[in-house]
Copies of this chain bind each other. A is one copy, B any other.
Amino acid sequence: MLSQAHHEIQIPTRGRGLYEFTGEVQTWLAGHNFQNGLLTLHLRHTSASLLIQENADPDVRRDLEHFFARLVPDGDPLFVHTAEGDDDMPAHIRTALTTVNLSVPLIHGRLALGTWQGIYLWEHRHAPHRRRVTVHFIGE
């Protein structure tokens, strides 16, 4: 018998960087005893992203951060939208280059993540923020 449920996860950030929250998602799914279905995550912001990436070597996250900082430089004179700071427009662009939606199947009680995949919030602003992720599940 199919049913659905929803939830909100709040993630406090301490500035730019990757914050894993795979555990919070799994805990919520387990609390409902869901076994099979489709999990969708939607981030309600335009200056942070959702990302599935390697959860083993922290150098991967460091290199991702350095690459994006070079690709979309803070304070680039190209940008007109600068009222909220040098990192505001780069944050919007980094969000456009990644995504704010993820969909992951749940199979036999486990998310279909690979061995090295973790679910991350990627904060693109330097200041701390409280980010809100809407969590939706449909299945059984």
Interfacial residues, chain A to chain B (CB-CB below 8 A): 2-4, 6, 36-38, 40, 42-46, 51-54, 57, 59-60, 62-64, 66-67, 70-72, 76, 78-81, 89, 92-93, 95-105, 107, 112-117, 132, 134, 136, 138-140
B46–A105 touching, CB < 8 Å: no
Contact A38 B80 (CB under 8 A): no
B104 to A36, Cβ gap below 8 A?
Answer: no
- In the complex formed, the residue of B with least CB distance to A47 is B54
Query: Chain B contacts of A116 at CB under 8 A?
Result: 45-46
Contact (A103, B40) CB under 8 Å given A70-B78, A80-B63? yes
A45 touches B2 (CB 8 A): no
- What residues of chain B lie closer than 8 Å to A99, measured between beta carbons? 99
CB atoms of B138 and A51 under 8 A apart: no
Secondary structure class of chain A's binding surface, majority of residues = mixed
Copies of this protein in the complex = 3
Q: Which residues of B contact A101 (CB under 8 A)?
A: 52, 101-104
In whole angstroms, how far apart are the Cα atoms of A115 and B132 in the complex? 11
Query: In the complex, are the beta carbons of B53 and A78 less than 8 A apart?
Result: no
Q: Are B113 and A44 within 8 A (Cβ)? A: yes
* A51 contacts across to B, CB distance below 8 A: 96
- Knowing that A2-B2, A42-B112 touch, tell me 17 more A-B residue pairs with CB under 8 angstroms: A6-B36, A38-B38, A38-B138, A45-B117, A46-B53, A52-B101, A57-B81, A59-B80, A62-B81, A64-B92, A67-B78, A70-B78, A97-B97, A97-B98, A101-B101, A101-B103, A138-B138
